[in-house]
Amino acid sequence: MSVHPISNIIRKLRFNADEMTQQQLANQVSVTRQTIVAIEKGKYSPSLELAFKITRVFNLSIEEVFFYDPKNNV
């Protein structure tokens, strides 16, 4: 359940990247696993810096990983 206007496909990208674990992604972008869990569940919108770090892990642009939908704005 998304509570933010920003959604993402990180879970799908992790799966496609040899089933990368949340902990492995967290280690690569220097955050805790809890933060990756919160981002994937749409409970937290990451800072621009963290968003860039995540997209670089998958060699994608920000628009390919994160999506803005103002209808979800609360």
The residues that touch another protein, with contacts defined as CB under 8 A, are 3-4, 30-32, 34-35, 37-38, 41-44, 46-47, 50
Nearer to another protein, 16 or 34 (CB): 34
Helix H segments across 1-74? 10-16, 22-29, 33-40, 48-57, 62-65
CB 25 within 8 A of CB 36: yes
Query: Which residue lies nearer to another protein by CB, 39 or 65?
Result: 39
Q: Which residues pair with 68 in a beta bridge?
A: 6
Q: Which is nearer to another protein, 13 or 45 (CB)?
A: 45
- State the CB neighbour count (10 A cutoff) for residue 50: 17
Residue 30 CB, nearest distance to another protein (Å)? 7
Q: Cβ of residue 3: shortest distance to another protein, in angstroms?
A: 6
